[in-house]
Structure 1
Amino acid sequence: MDNYPVETGRVVISKSGRDKGRPFLVVELLEEPYVLIADGALRRLKQPKKKKLKHLELTGTVLEGIRDKLEQGTKVFDAELRSALKNTMQAKEE
């Protein structure tokens, strides 16, 4: 596993399945080894995907604004999540 802790708000990359290579955000920690992930497009926050940690590559990026909203129970919009993930991935490519 990667050297980053698994936490709500962490950006991850799918390593397997039909969503391979796509960035997602950890929206909830479940019982080991599962987490719920969403990207606001393929997987919306209303229906996050349950995925095993071994099928995810953890990145060093945590979207703190979205993490704080999720932890406080404040509504996070799918468009907000899509935009944050897009900006994060573009910044990594540069």
Structure 2
Amino acid sequence: MATSNMPQIGQIVRVNRGRESGSYAVIIGVVDQRYVWIADGGKRKSDAPKKKNVIHLELLPAISSEVADSITTTGRVTNGKLRFALTKYADHESAKAQEKGE
């Protein structure tokens, strides 16, 4: 699990400010404590990530090991892996919500 104040590569985030607010993305690079590079593999591709201020993001406790491993070994990640990580997270959250509702 990630700490709430330090962004990590592969961490799932929710965008709270800007044009893409309400959408989810994955951190694919950390500039410093304040800025990160995010991509979602769909609208925002991994070869053209968005530099985002951390205070405009909600850092979620989920970290995609597939994305983190790919970036640490090859230095890059495919858009398919980013989409897979976000879909897996969304499926996990919806299953958790259904359990809570029953």
Partner Cα separation in structure 2 for residue 30 and residue 3 of structure 1: 17
Using the size of structure 1 for normalisation, the TM-score is 0.89
Q: Is the 8 A contact 2:7 2:33 kept in 1?
A: no
Q: Which residue of 1 aligns with 2:52?
A: 51
- Give unmatched runs, 5+ long, in structure 1: none
Using the size of structure 2 for normalisation, the TM-score is 0.83
Q: Which residue of 2 aligns with 1:7?
A: 8
What SS class does the counterpart of residue 45 from structure 1 fall into?
coil
What SS class does the counterpart of residue 85 from structure 2 fall into?
helix
What SS class does the counterpart of residue 3 from structure 1 fall into?
coil
Partner Cα separation in structure 2 for residue 48 and residue 15 of structure 1: 17
Superposed CA RMSD: 1.6
Runs of 4+ in 1 over 2 A off after TM superposition: 2-5
More helix by share: 2
Q: Which residue of 1 aligns with 2:37?
A: 36
Identical aligned pairs, as a percentage?
A: 28
